[in-house]
Amino acid sequence: GLEIRARLPDADPLRVAALRNNYGNLLVRRGDLVGATAQLDAARAIYREELGPGHPSVANVLSNLGVVQLRHAEVAEHVGDAR
């Protein structure tokens, strides 16, 4: 899977970052916000290292992380409503 691909010596870091970003977005849709955050943070770190902090790919991942934060807030609101 993804973890094995990321550890291969010839793995393209930008491809790994794209895969982590896509997987993170899938996890958001499935409701796994902790897993999504981990994947998106990893993608962000790779993009920053490879492309620099001002690159649009970094901004894209930051936007995706913002979606995760919004979902966390929605979950917290629903938990509060249930009490």
Non-local CB neighbours of 17 within 8 Å, separated by 6+ positions? 42, 43, 46, 47, 50, 57, 61
**Can you read off the two tokens belonging to residue 67?**
């979606």
Query: Rounded CA gap, 17 and 13, in Å?
Result: 6
How large is the average pLDDT for residues 13-18?
96
Amino acid of residue 28: V
More confident position, 82 or 9: 9
Considering Cα of 43, then 48, then 50, then 54, what sign does the dihedral take?
positive
pLDDT in tens, 48-79: 999 999 999 999 999 999 999 999 898 888 77
| Mean pLDDT value of segment 32-57 | 97
Rounded to two decimals, what is the model's pTM?
A: 0.84
pLDDT over 70 percentage in the chain: 88
